[in-house]
Amino acid sequence: MNERIAPYEDKMQKSYNNLLDEFGSIRAGRANPHVLDQIRVDYYGAPTPLQSVANITVPEARMIVIQPWEASMVKVIEKAILVSDLGINPTNDGKVIRLVFPELTEERSKDLTKDVKKKGENAKVAIRNIRRDANEKLKKLGKTEDVSEDEIKDLETQVQKLTDKYIAKVDDAIADKTKEIMTV
């Protein structure tokens, strides 16, 4: 890999990783503790990730149990979940909070797959924008530095191969997440 292209591959990888993070927060009917990754709770005045103040387990396919390390955090965590866009009402018994994930309806599954495809398309657009930026920089290289047209063409070909690779990875991720949603 050419060192002139490496930064663009890093950017494409970050776009892909960001998509996977977004997919992790889409709840597909099965209980997945990653849906809680974006939730922050007020812990002594500081917004703190939920995972830092509680133990999170998945005892059953459709349930997440959150056990705060301090009993005083139960109400705070419950409130944070209610104000999030998770769409699940937590129940608590004073010691632990339970999140029960309802069965996905066919309509909800279709909505989620549309959302997955939209997020995937956004990731592809980001990757293509990175390709465009790379190609613009490479064209300028030919004018400002001593780089031959053949070298520029070769670098542009490498950038296109990178783009194709990451677009294919995004397509695979979309297919996997769609399958996960539809087979719950």
Question: Model confidence over 102-135: pLDDT tens digits?
Answer: 777 788 788 888 889 999 999 999 999 999 999 9
Nearest to 41 by CA among 82, 90, 89: 82
Any residues with CB less than 8 A from the CB of 166 and at least 6 apart, and which? 12, 13, 15, 16, 127
In CATH, what number does 33-100 get?
A: 3.30.1360.40
- What single-letter DSSP state applies at residue 161? H
Question: Model confidence over 8-66: pLDDT tens digits?
Answer: 999 999 999 999 888 877 766 667 787 787 788 888 888 888 888 888 888 887 888 98
Contact by Cβ (8 Å): 178, 117 = yes
Q: What is the pTM of this model?
A: 0.70
H or E segment and range at residue 152: helix 149-182
Count the neighbouring beta carbons within 10 Å of the beta carbon of residue 113.
19
Pinpoint the residues of the chain covered by CATH 1.10.132.20: 6-24+105-182
Pinpoint the residues of the chain covered by CATH 3.30.1360.40: 33-100
- What single-letter DSSP state applies at residue 36? G
CATH classification of 6-24+105-182 is 3.50.50.60, yes or no? no
